Amino acid sequence: MSSDVESFLCDYLQTTHFSIQLDESTLPGNEALLLAYVRFVMGEEIHEELLFARTLKTDTKGESIFAVLSDFFKEKSIPFTNVISVATDGAPAMVGRYRGFISHLKRIIPEVTTIHCVIHRQHLVAKNLSDRLHQSLQFVLNAVNKIRSNALNTSLFTQLCDENDEDFQRLLLHTEVRWLSKGACLSRFYSLFNSGQEFLGSKDPDLKKNLINFKADVAYLTDLFQKFNELNLQLQGDSLNLITTKSVISAFIGKLKFMKGNIGRREFSQFSNLSQVECLDEDIQTYIQHLIALHGDFNTRFEDILSMEIPPWIINPFDETEVENVILQEELLELSTNEELKVTFKKGYQKFWLQAEIPKKYPVGNHAKASHSVSLIISRRKKF
C-alpha cells in the first residue's frame, strides 16, 4: 500500500508545481537522515505529504544533500522545473552561498524562491536570553532533571504532590528538538514551585536557594514562553501562508513593544505569574532590556517577511485596484464582474485563488498569484 501511495504522489508531482522543504536530522545511532516534504495543490485544496526519508551515507554537506534529492527526482522522473519554492532550516549546509544546497539548486532553477522556516526562526529568537535569564532557566532545568532523572526521586515527588493536593503530580522534561517543550516545562514547574522547593530542601539546598532568589525570573520566563508557544501554534497549520505569517509576526512584534512599556510602568496584566511575585527595580530593568533585544531580533530575522509587499488585489481581487500591468488590469476588471466567483470569494482569498478555473480564465493574474501564494506555501515545519 505504501508503494502505491508513493507512486501516486510521484506521478502527480511530475505534472504539477510544488514546494519542497528539506530537513537534515541526526538519529540516535549518529546516522544522518534527510527528510523531504512537499506541498502542492490538488482538487482545489492544499496538500502536504512526506516525499522521502533517506540516509546521507557520507557527510551532510550541501552537495551531498543535493545529490540525494537529484537522485530521487531522476529515479521518479520528477522534473526540477516543477519546484517553485524551497524551505530550509537556514543551516550553512543548506544556504551556503557557494557550496550550500540552495546554491546547487539555483544553478538548475535560478528563479526558485527560498525561505528560512519561520518556526525555526521564532525558536532562534526565543533562545535569545541575557546571562542572568539563561542562568535562571538553567536552575529550573537542573531542578527538573534532578527530580525526573531518578526513579526514586520521581516517585517521592509524586507522593509529595499528592500530599500537597497539587493539580499535577509530575514535572515535564525539556528537549531542544521539541520547540514547545520549554514553555510547557516552565509552566508545569512554576505551577509546582512550592512543592519543588520543599522537595529540594533536603536534596539540593543550594539549588533551592537559587530558585527562591530568582523566582521573579522564573515567573517572567514562564509567562513569556507561554506567549512564544501561542505564537508557535499560530505559525502552524495546513492553510498557513506567508501572508498570514506576516500578520502574525507583525502583531507579536507590536505586542513586545507594548509589553515593554507596561512592565516599565509595573503594569503586569500581560504577565499573570509575574504579577504575583515581588519585583525589584533591577528585575524590571532586566526584563525591559530582554524585551528590547527580542524586538530587535524579531525585526532582523523576519526582515524579508516584514518587508514583503502584498498586492491588494491578491487579498481582495474585487476591489477597484489599479496595477501597472495592462493585461493584468484587464483580467482584474473582467474578474470583478464575475458574479459566480464573488460567491466563492466568501470562503477566503486562498480558497478563491485555488479554484481550477482561475488559471484557465485569467492566466496572467494566476501567474502572479502562483509566485506569491502557491510558491510560498511551505513556510514552516511541524514539530511539537
Q: Is the dihedral of CA 369, 371, 372, 377 positive or negative?
A: positive
pLDDT of residue 36: 93
Residue 95: count of CB within 10 angstroms of its CB: 17
pLDDT of residue 381: 39
Cell of 383: 514539530
- pLDDT over 90 for what percent of the chain? 51
Cα angle 114, 72, 61; round to 5: 55
Q: Is the confidence at residue 180, as pLDDT, over 90?
A: no
pLDDT of residue 367: 45
CB–CB of 56/94 below 8 Å? no
Which strands form 32-42's sheet, in the order they lie side by side?
45-56, 32-42, 18-26, 83-88, 113-116
Task: Count Cβ atoms within 10 A of the Cβ of residue 275 and give its class: 0-12 exposed, 13-18 middle, 19 or more buried.
Answer: middle
User: In 3D, which of 308, 287, 290 has the Cα closest to residue 118?
Assistant: 308
The answer for 238, left when phi > 0, alpha when psi is -120 to 50, beta otherwise, is alpha
pLDDT of residue 177: 63
Q: Encode pLDDT of 195-247 as tens digits.
A: 999 999 888 999 999 999 999 999 999 999 999 999 998 988 777 888 889 99
More confident residue, 2 or 94: 94
Render the burial of 280-305: b for 16+ CB within 10 Å, e for the rest.
eeebbebbeebbeebbebbeebbeeb
pLDDT of residue 24: 83
Q: How does residue 23 score in pLDDT terms, banded at 50, 70 and 90?
A: confident
Q: Cα(239)–Cα(251) distance, rounded to whole angstroms?
A: 19
Q: Cα(196)–Cα(144) distance, rounded to whole angstroms?
A: 9
Domains and CATH numbers, the chain: 2-116 (3.30.420.40), 124-305 (no CATH), 312-372 (no CATH)
Q: Is the confidence at residue 306, as pLDDT, over 70?
A: yes
Q: What is the pTM of this model?
A: 0.85
